[in-house]
Amino acid sequence: MPEESEQPEEKSEQAAGRAAAIAEGSSPEQSEQSEQSEQSAEQAERSMRAAHRPSMAAAGPYGHPIHPMLVTIPIGAFVATLAFDIASVLIEGRAYGRPAVWLSLIGIVGGLVASLFGFVDYRRLTKGTRAHAVATRHMILMDVVLICFVVGFFVRRADSNYYLYGTPKIALALSVVGVGIMLIGGWLGGKLAYSYGSRVADESDQIKAHSLSAPSTD
Instruction: Tell me the closest approach of the beta carbon of residue 78 to ligand HEM, in angstroms.
Output: 8
Does 178 bind ligand HEM (CB under 6 A)? Our answer is no
Sign of CA dihedral 91, 93, 95, 97: positive
Per rule CB under 6 A, is residue 181 in the interface with ligand HEM?
A: no
- Only one of the segments 136-144, 148-156, 173-181, 201-209 lies at the binding site for ligand HEM (rule: CB under 6 A); that segment is 136-144
Least separation in angstroms between CB 1 and ligand HEM = 19
In the complex, least distance from residue 187 CB atom to ligand HEM, rounded to whole angstroms: 8
Q: Which of 122, 149, 153, 163 binds ligand HEM (CB under 6 A)?
A: 122
Exposed/middle/buried for residue 104 (C-beta within 10 Å: 0-12, 13-18, 19+): buried
Of residues 138, 126, 117, 135, the one with CA closest to residue 48: 126
Task: Tell me which of 52, 74, 81, 94 binds ligand HEM, using CB under 6 A.
Answer: 74
Instruction: Decide if 131 contacts 125 (C-beta within 8 A).
Output: yes
Window of 31-39, 147-155, 170-178, 186-194 that interacts with ligand HEM by CB under 6 A: 186-194
**Residue 190 binds ligand HEM (CB under 6 A):** yes
Region from 22-30, 65-73, 89-97, 153-161 binding ligand HEM, contact rule CB under 6 A = 65-73
Identity of the residue, 139 or 173, whose beta carbon is nearer to ligand HEM in the bound complex: 139
111 touching ligand HEM, by CB under 6 A = yes
Cα dist from 53 to 29, 47, 186, whole Å: 37, 10, 21
* CA distances, 29 to each of 21, 43, 206 (Å): 9, 21, 39
Contact 53, 124 (CB under 8 A): yes
